[in-house]
Amino acid sequence: MVNPGMEKNAFLLLLAAVSGAFVWLLLPYYGALFWAAILAILFRPLQRYMGLKFGLSRNLTALITLLICLLIAILPVVFTANLLVKQAGSLYQKIETGELDIGAYLSQLKALLPTYLQVQMDHLGLDNLNGLREKAVSGAMEGSQKVATQAFTFGQSTFNFLIGFFVMLYLLFFFLRDGPELVRKIRMAIPLEEKQKRRLQLNFIRVVRATVKGNVLIAVTQGALGGLMFWFLDVPNPLLWSVLMALLSLLPAVGAAIVWAPVAGYFLLTGAIWQGVLLMLFGVLVIGLVDNVLRPILVGRDTRMPDYMILVSTLGGLTLFGLNGFVIGPLIAALFLSCWGIFTDNKKTINLP
């Protein structure tokens, strides 16, 4: 007769092995799975509203919600990415052919500085700009080349991209249609009290909406405003700088100012006074205030994490997961805080050592 304890352990081992194998199978398309789940969470309120308001079936509301998501969230990202690759390719070609001489700009900027600042630079060993010039040129070429080569890479992997794209749309439809049932099954499988499971679920949904709807939309808004101002001031490659400002806006210790402030300083030093003053005022009064105005509306004060936690988790997520890490990193950090909060509350309740 089989020992019940051994049977249970063997089954748990089999369950862990099969689950690990299944996760391994999903790894090639983890991005599609991840974004399908994220978009389903974000657009679920819209689907629920249409079902209650118009009495539509689950299939129809899921399909309509999917089409709306495709129009306002997915296609604009694909279109922007295509334009970004083209502008990055153009920038790389200008640097490679010498049409855009970064070294000359650095020398020109130094010459425009006050004499006492140039003397201080000389004392600090910055009188020879060759090394700095080479690093700036190589860094700009490397960054623009990486983005530019995505056009070729995309051409080679179009089939894989299309598969991933349609997998995401396919999963998104079923996540929208069957989301409540999937959530119920997951909650049943988690060996926690119902109160704790509900708390984790609510925290997860809040974090997703705060990270994507809040942080990402705020970053996109800041990047778009900065890009429009760059376009108005006739700064080359405004879309490229717009995307860079949006990405940097996700980092609380950096922000979009690291892009627009040097450009404003360059305008002022080169005699383009009104352009520099306009960009400086726009950056401080418009771009800089977007976070303070929109974050309470889109995120809410109760879901905010400390700035240092957002910074570290975003950088770590970016390193480990690529572009998806801008969402995955803060999401993991917030769930980490939520789980430890539950543990601390339970420890106080049951007097754990």
Q: Are residues 60 and 167 in the same domain?
A: yes
In the structure encoding, which two tokens stand for residue 94, read together? 């200008």
Q: How many independent structural domains does the chain possess?
A: 2
Residue-level pLDDT at 176: 92
Tens-digit pLDDT profile for residues 77-92? 777 777 777 777 676 6
pTM metric for this prediction: 0.73
Q: Are residues 182 and 39 in the same domain?
A: yes
C-alpha separations of 142 from 86, 101, 105, 329 in Å: 15, 15, 18, 25
In the structure encoding, which two tokens stand for residue 316, read together? 């770590």
Q: Are residues 222 and 265 in the same domain?
A: yes
Domain endpoint, select from 189, 217, 243: 189
Q: Are residues 252 and 272 in the same domain?
A: yes
Residue-level pLDDT at 152: 46
The mean per-residue pLDDT over the stretch 16-32 comes to 89
158-189 helix and 130-156 helix, angle to the nearest 10 degrees? 80
What is the rounded distance in angstroms from the CA atom of residue 195 to the CA atom of residue 178? 23
Residue 172 pLDDT > 90, yes or no?
yes
130-156 helix and 102-112 helix, angle to the nearest 10 degrees? 140
Among 1-10, 135-144, 237-246, the range scoring the smallest mean pLDDT is 135-144
Domain endpoint, select from 189, 215, 245: 189
Residue 149 pLDDT > 60, yes or no?
no
What is the rounded distance in angstroms from the CA atom of residue 327 to the CA atom of residue 342? 23
The mean per-residue pLDDT over the stretch 23-27 comes to 89
Among 32-41, 117-126, 193-202, 214-223, the range scoring the smallest mean pLDDT is 117-126
| Per-residue pLDDT band at 233 (split at 50, 70, 90) | very high
Q: Are residues 309 and 326 in the same domain?
A: yes
Residue-level pLDDT at 317: 87
Query: Which candidate, 191, 203, 189, places its Cα nearest to that of 342?
Result: 203
Tally the residues of the chain: 353
What is the rounded distance in angstroms from the CA atom of residue 52 to the CA atom of residue 85? 42
| Per-residue pLDDT band at 64 (split at 50, 70, 90) | very high
Q: Is residue 10 one of the residues assigned to a domain?
A: no
Neighbouring C-beta atoms of residue 303, cutoff 10 Å: 15
Look up residue 304 and give its DSSP letter.
P
Q: What percent of the chain has pLDDT over 70?
A: 73
Residue 156 pLDDT > 50, yes or no?
no
Q: Are residues 213 and 312 in the same domain?
A: yes
Domain endpoint, select from 148, 163, 189: 189
Q: Are residues 180 and 240 in the same domain?
A: no
Q: Residue 192: what are its φ and ψ, rounded to 5°?
A: -135, 165
Q: Is residue 15 one of the residues assigned to a domain?
A: no
| Per-residue pLDDT band at 154 (split at 50, 70, 90) | very low
Residue-level pLDDT at 102: 59
Query: Which candidate, 28, 68, 67, places its Cα nearest to that of 159?
Result: 28
Residue with tokens 């020398």: 107
- The range of the structural domain enclosing residue 275 comes to 192-346
Tens-digit pLDDT profile for residues 288-345? 888 777 766 665 555 567 777 877 888 888 888 877 887 888 888 878 887 887 778 7
Q: Is residue 329 one of the residues assigned to a domain?
A: yes
Residue 164 pLDDT > 50, yes or no?
yes
Residue 113 pLDDT > 80, yes or no?
no
Q: What percent of the chain has pLDDT over 90?
A: 15
Q: Which residues of 73-108 are buried (b: 16+ CB within 10 A; e: fewer)?
A: ebeeeeebeeebbbbbbbbbebbeeeebebeeebee
Q: Is residue 138 one of the residues assigned to a domain?
A: yes
Q: Are residues 168 and 126 in the same domain?
A: yes
Residue 188 pLDDT > 90, yes or no?
no
Q: Are residues 196 and 180 in the same domain?
A: no
Residue 138 pLDDT > 60, yes or no?
no
Which residue would you say has higher pLDDT here, 140 or 124? 124
The mean per-residue pLDDT over the stretch 191-199 comes to 79
Q: What is 179-217 written as a DSSP string?
A: HHHHHHHHHHHS-S-HHHHHHHHHHHHHHHIIIIIIIIH
Q: Which residues of 229-250 are buried (b: 16+ CB within 10 A; e: fewer)?
A: bbeebebebbbbbbbbbbbbbb
Q: Are residues 302 and 240 in the same domain?
A: yes
Q: Are residues 204 and 309 in the same domain?
A: yes
| Per-residue pLDDT band at 128 (split at 50, 70, 90) | low
Q: Is residue 226 one of the residues assigned to a domain?
A: yes
Residue-level pLDDT at 127: 52
What is the rounded distance in angstroms from the CA atom of residue 137 to the CA atom of residue 102? 6
Burial class (CB in 10 A: 0-12, 13-18, 19+), 261: middle
What is the rounded distance in angstroms from the CA atom of residue 67 to the CA atom of residue 72? 9
What is the rounded distance in angstroms from the CA atom of residue 160 to the CA atom of residue 162? 5
Residue-level pLDDT at 298: 66
Q: Is residue 11 one of the residues assigned to a domain?
A: no
Q: Is residue 140 one of the residues assigned to a domain?
A: yes
Q: Is residue 313 one of the residues assigned to a domain?
A: yes
Residues 6+ apart with CB under 8 A from 24: none
Residue-level pLDDT at 155: 46
The mean per-residue pLDDT over the stretch 212-226 comes to 84
| Per-residue pLDDT band at 73 (split at 50, 70, 90) | confident
Which residue would you say has higher pLDDT here, 229 or 300? 229
Q: Are residues 324 and 201 in the same domain?
A: yes
What is the rounded distance in angstroms from the CA atom of residue 226 to the CA atom of residue 232? 10
Is residue 272 within 8 Å of 264, Cβ to Cβ? no
- Mean pLDDT of all residues in the chain? 77
Residue-level pLDDT at 301: 55
Burial class (CB in 10 A: 0-12, 13-18, 19+), 347: exposed
The mean per-residue pLDDT over the stretch 110-136 comes to 60
